[in-house]
Amino acid sequence: MVKIRSKVSKPDWLKIQLPNTADYKWMHNTIRDHKLHTICTSGKCPNSAECWANGTATFMILGDICTRACKFCNVKTGKPDPVDNKEPLRIARSIQIMKLRHAVITSVDRDDLEDGGAGIWAATIEKTKELNPNTSMEVLIPDFNGLHPLIQQVMDAKPEVISHNLETVRRLTPMIRTKAKYDLSLKVLKYIAEGGMVAKSGIMLGLGETEEEVFEAMDDLLAAGVTVMTIGQYLCPSKDHLPVSEYVSPEQFEKYKTVGLEKGFKYVESGPLVRSSYHAEEHINALKK
């Protein structure tokens, strides 16, 4: 791995080309016309083109303003708007209109709410299942400050996969996450796994972590009961965010995938452009085997 300055051009393996297909254009227009909050757009995900072209999308509920200000994230931070109780139905209908086989739902952190948004979370999952009985679902949840009753509301709605990202290795967590704690995230994931749900998590590389620290994070996740892990390259959203410490080679990502599977994960998605929702439908299918 080679250390580079943040202003150096991205390597070739990080360059993507947007497809010019009817499916992609239709999905893009649908998201725009329905004024949906998707992490594909607000998070500047490099895989949005591929996912939309394949009929998959990640929705962000509870608005697009987060109460936290993590140094890696491009989602806006500040005082969120009031909760929209019509949002669960709107998301469910949008998934129906977009004819998705698999949907991923995530949210901003809502520390301003007594329930952290858990009620809207549960209602969104339930309404989505009601209107889209053949659509599988993954939810990428916040930590809900580790409060089990709030996490349980999401679990009781029965999504196929519940994901909560560790984001980085233990040593770097205080540098890039404002309120979330490494061990608290592990406790959240353990509660999910012990409740009989498929637990999934992911980390970013290129923030200054070492190989040994990545292996330690894998061990910690496995000990918490996580069975699916994603590993991707951190890409700096703007000059106001943490700079990239290094661009990790595709070969190193492949090594992490191999080691992760050897350690005991059932599925590892590892690559420079991988994000937590990348190939999410394949994760569910792999777990069925």
Range 9-17 average pLDDT: 72
Q: CA-CA-CA-CA torsion for 208, 38, 51, 2, nearest 10 degrees?
A: -10
Whole-model pTM: value is: 0.88
Amino acid at 11: P
Cβ atoms of residues 87 and 130 within 8 Å: no
> What percent of the chain has a predicted confidence (pLDDT) above 70?
79
Backbone φ, ψ for residue 190 (5° rounding) = -65, -40
Surface-to-core class of residue 238, CB atoms within 10 Å of its CB (0-12 exposed, 13-18 middle, 19+ buried): exposed
Sheet of strand 228-233: strand arrangement: 57-61, 102-107, 136-140, 161-163, 198-205, 228-233, 267-270
Point out the least confidently predicted range of 95-99, 202-206, 250-254. 95-99
DSSP-assigned states of every residue in 61-87: ES-SEES---TT--SEES-PPPP-TTH
Per-residue pLDDT, 2: 38
Is 47 a residue whose pLDDT tops 80? no
Is 23 a residue whose pLDDT tops 70? no
State how far the alpha carbon of 131 is from the alpha carbons of 30, 33, 93, 126, 155, in Å.
18, 20, 7, 9, 19
Amino acid at 243: P
In the structure, what pLDDT confidence band is assigned to residue 75 with cuts at 50, 70 and 90? confident
Fold of 2-8+18-288: TIM Barrel (3.20.20)
